[in-house]
Amino acid sequence: MSTIDYTPGVDGAPFGNAQTNPQSSFYKPLSALTVAETNLIQKEIKRVIFDAAPKQYNALKLLFEKSAEDRNLDEFEYLETTFNRSPLVAATGVAGGATISFDLTAGSLTHISKDLVVIFPNNVKGIITAIAGATITVSAQSGGALPAVVAGDILSVQSTIMADGMTNFANYERVETITRYNFIQFFLRAARWGRIELQKYKNAGTTNYLTVDTENKMKQLRIDMFNAFFNGERGEFILATGEAAKAMGGIYPTMVAAGSANANPTIAGLKAAFETLAFATNYKAEGGVRFIYAVDEMLYELSKVWKEPGIRYAPSDSIADLNLTEYKLGTMRFVPVVCELFKEISCFPADWRRKLLVIDQETITPIKMAGIPQFEMGATLEKGANGSREGFKDWWVQAQLSLEFNNPLGCFWIDVQ
């Protein structure tokens, strides 16, 4: 066996610390040192790859807290019945008197009948005695007079009324329903490994890269679902291969389509806007909880609205371990949920970092198609004992999700300027 004879130099050349570096070393000195690499030592690589993604994903946990309900098809519809009582809006004006006639707006015409007691803005009561197209005739109580009416006046509906011995029914009505629908969306992520390539990672891998890569597919799939759950636009996309795929409608687009209340105040006007919208959309029982989804910065601004510090939110289910705080406004309760994904430009438009979504979570139900698991994963066959001729393995994860959103008018959003 041959050896190397040498005279030690100032920098140890041809041996010394400057020459003792692993292959692909990052050491690139700016000095005149002669640097060498050797395959006689291994690179020092930490086995576990650190996950640098943000950890403030409580909103993701809340999304998957509620089990998805089954539907038989990849599209479904559901019906709502509302309060079934609406005020009447005058379309024309008229002078006051014992009996007056004026037109109503088109939206008011399906909520009237004869012998219906109505209340004028000054609290005077009258009774509808005739209906002719859009025109109603209202008579005052005996001996009384009705006020003048101007276009836009709102009349409340007090009650029906009947007299003894009547031989007819005047107040016929049927429940009005609203039909809503949504599509179930399917999600997929995959990775392809050549058979030999994969085996090299298994045999000589320096880190837990294969495990991290597999876990990342599932994490990204969940983020896909989260993004669609909040911002998916119901409709259809034609894929690159020509097939049609149905897309689910998410929370925010459903609220927009339903006409949910909203505002766009400055920071200075946030308090007034939030209070106004909160009371205007309060359909819940006393003490009911609504969740506020926003980035940390916006929730901090909102926390200044409440003069008292928040208290620990104490639900009866497993989300108690999220350490959430609740605030009270009158009899209403609000639980802020940090949603840092809203400011992730790879997931949402830039203006979402200034958005607050106030959601009645009890009215939202995740939906899946019956007979197919909500989450699936697997791998294709490769060459080997199984007889496949493919020289690669595809590892895949897929999922499905939609939502049923009842009464979006019980929710609101704020875009802070």
Return the axis-axis angle of helices 209-231 and 195-204, rounded to nearest 10°: 120
From the list 90, 110, 108, 109, the residue with the least C-alpha distance to 100 is 90
Q: What are phi and psi of 131, to 5 degrees?
A: -135, 125
* pTM given for the model: 0.77
From the list 149, 153, 162, the residue with the least C-alpha distance to 116 is 162
Residues in a beta bridge with 78? 180
From the list 233, 168, 211, the residue with the least C-alpha distance to 49 is 211
Give the span between the Cα atoms of 250 and 229, in whole angstroms. 5
pLDDT of residue 240: 94
Q: For the purposes of burial, counting CB atoms within 10 Å of the CB of 385, is it exposed (0-12), middle (13-18) or buried (19 or more)? A: exposed
Q: Tokens 């106030």 appear where? A: 358
CB pairs under 8 A, 24+ apart, for 5-11? none
What's the first-to-final CA gap in the chain, in angstroms?
A: 78
Give the span between the Cα atoms of 122 and 146, in whole angstroms. 10
Tokens coding 162 = 């009947």
Strands 412-415 and 261-263: parallel
From the list 71, 52, 369, the residue with the least C-alpha distance to 219 is 52
Which amino acid makes up residue 329? Answer: L
pLDDT of residue 144: 92
Enumerate helices (H) and strands (E) in the chain, giving the number of each: 6, 22
The shares of helix, strand and coil residues in the chain, as percent rounded to the nearest 5, are: 25, 30, 45
pLDDT of residue 212: 86
Burial 180-199 (b: 16+ CB within 10 A, else e): bebbbbbbebebebeeeebe
pLDDT of residue 79: 87
Each residue's pLDDT tens digit, 207-227: 888 888 888 888 888 889 999
pLDDT of residue 201: 86
Which regions in the chain score pLDDT beneath 70? 1-2, 4-17, 19, 30-34, 39-60, 63, 83, 285-287, 307-323, 385
Q: What are phi and psi of 391, to 5 degrees?
A: -95, 25
> Is residue 183 within 8 Å of 246, Cβ to Cβ?
yes
In CATH, what is the architecture of 88-174?
Beta Barrel (2.40)
Each residue's pLDDT tens digit, 63-116: 677 789 999 999 999 988 776 778 899 999 999 999 999 999 988 888 888 999
**Domain ranges for the chain:** 1-44, 58-79+183-415, 88-174
pLDDT of residue 2: 66
Longest Cα separation, the chain: 128
pLDDT of residue 55: 46
pLDDT of residue 321: 53
